[in-house]
Structure 1
Amino acid sequence: MSVIVKESYIGAGIVYVAGRDVGNASGVEVSIEQEEKSLPNYRGGGGNYDSVTKVSSVKLKMTLNAFSNENLALALRGKVSVLTADPVDNEIVVAKLDGLAPTEKLIDISKPVTVTNSDGTTAYDVDVDYYVSAAGIRAIGTGEIVDGAQLKVSYTSAAGNALEALTEAGVTVPVVIDGMNDANGKPCVLRFYLWKPSPTSSLSLITDDYGSFDIEGEVLANDAIVAAGKSKFFKRLAA
């Protein structure tokens, strides 16, 4: 008598790209594109005499909810650099009434900011003559700052990191999904040996709900795997 195996599946897990936890991932999907070649049956009766299906590509797509610069660098083929907290003295910006005069660095708004005229003889008042944001200085139309005036801004830059988008040729990285089948509580692990993500086609930057973005790339064949019966692309381990 055969035994019926119940193996329902609800997937969850942690996604690691080159060993780095990418944070909350709301979706991971594998797609396999195939190419079929067929030999028509010329012996009468129609149909095909033989056919073969070849794998033309293996794609891995993940939907990420963590908008870190490291994740965005994967999606935008970018480079991430570290920003240190440094004092900035007398940076020159051009005032735009009720608009933004951006500073070169990210302003740490928890630290004092000083704004003066170009020769430093007049100090302007925050929330009266200008507002401060992380991006720069916004001159208030009812204040003393004149549109187009050169200002000197002194502040402390915020520590963090910077992403330079679309500057890299792309990376090829391993991906491991440390997964769990929530339907039965059993672990399942997927290992993709060589994944080459492509730049994302769109990125929503202002939304009225939690944001997410997709990264898709090709899973390349790993020539280091030569044993018979072993996949060059990925494998799934399940308890």
Structure 2
Amino acid sequence: MSLFSFQGRVWAGERLPNGKLSRPVWAGNVPVLTLQMATESTNTTESFSGNRLQYGRLQRGKTATVNITYDEWLPKNIAAAIWASQIELPADTVTGEVLEGDLKAGDFVKLDRQFVSSVVLTDSATTPAELVLGTDYRIESPTAGLIELLNVTGKTQPFKAAYASEVATGYTMFTSPPPERYILLDGINTENQEPVIVTLYRCKFDPVGDLALINDEYGNFQLTGSVLYDTLNAADANLGGFGRIVQKGA
């Protein structure tokens, strides 16, 4: 018998057709991992005593819900949070990118790429004139690819941009089906330093409900998902249909 307070590493991976865990990835620091289990029941009362006492309870269903709080901004965590496809954006050299027309001094424009360098703007005259950096335009943010126009007098629009962009990774929201993950907690009971292992075979997550994009403290986000029934693992009495908790024998 022991009190308990668990910590440990949370791993998430795909579930193979044979029911096993495939290529797990450590989720980084996870300060909260909870499992909620519930049943759906229907009660009935008797009608022969005159007191209408509860006479039966029919179990109609069993559900389990997992909640995970992620502290770390990692690719797999981000993709799961926003149901995203992870897109690799190669470095590129761009020429002749046409900006919107009728720009005025003080207007900002965003280039199609991000993480840009060596930006050159030209106009659309028969013999194109090159705009002067610092006089005709300035780079507001090379990270976002934002440019401010300072002087457009005597220039023929639309302007055209040439620049280089760096390698980047993108996450496109709601372009991937709801993520289903096999969750493994490689844990330890900090009360007595005994190991504990928790496995949940099929966790299907909802998108993140609240993702703080600007905040004063360290950010984190919570994902909630349903633990689905695994018919394959359910056939093994040592595994069960949802998951299991394993600890060392006495």
Counterpart of 2:80 (choices 70, 74, 77) is: 74
Corresponding residue for 2:119? 113
Deviations 1:108-141 (A, max 9, x none): 4xx422233344412321487212322223215x
Corresponding residue for 1:21? 26
Partners of 1:118 and 1:150 within 8 A in 2: yes
- Cα 1:151–1:26, aligned 2, differ >3 Å: closer, same or farther? farther
Shift of 1:101: 1.3
AA matched with 1:13 = R
Root-mean-square deviation (Å): 2.7
Query: Which runs of 5 or more residues in structure 2 are unaligned?
Result: 15-23
- Cα 1:43–1:79, aligned 2, differ >3 Å: closer, same or farther? same
Partners of 1:32 and 1:55 within 8 A in 2: no
Are 2:36 and 1:31 equivalent residues in the alignment? Answer: yes
Partners of 1:86 and 1:157 within 8 A in 2: yes
Q: Equivalences for 1:43-192 in 2 at 5 Å?
A: 43-44=48-49, 45-94=51-100, 95=103, 97-98=105-106, 100-108=108-116, 111-119=117-125, 120-126=128-134, 129-131=137-139, 132-139=141-148, 143-145=150-152, 149-192=157-200
Shift of 1:54: 4.9
Partners of 2:31 and 2:69 within 8 A in 1: yes
Query: Structure 2-normalised TM-score?
Result: 0.80
Distance 2:6 2:36 in 1: 18
Shift of 1:48: 1.5
Corresponding residue for 1:11? 7
- Cα 1:182–1:145, aligned 2, differ >3 Å: closer, same or farther? farther
Partners of 1:96 and 1:139 within 8 A in 2: no
Distance 1:155 1:133 in 2: 10
AA matched with 2:111 = T
Query: Which runs of 5 or more residues in structure 1 are unaligned?
Result: none
Shift of 1:52: 4.2
Query: Structure 1-normalised TM-score?
Result: 0.83
Partners of 1:13 and 1:180 within 8 A in 2: no
Distance 1:51 1:71 in 2: 41
AA matched with 1:37 = T
Corresponding residue for 1:41? 46
Shift of 1:65: 2.1
- Cα 1:180–1:204, aligned 2, differ >3 Å: closer, same or farther? same
AA matched with 1:14 = V
Distance 1:27 1:162 in 2: 27
> Which has the larger displacement, 39-48 or 199-208?
39-48
Partners of 1:98 and 1:138 within 8 A in 2: no
Corresponding residue for 1:215? 223
Distance 2:44 2:145 in 1: 68
Distance 1:148 1:204 in 2: 43
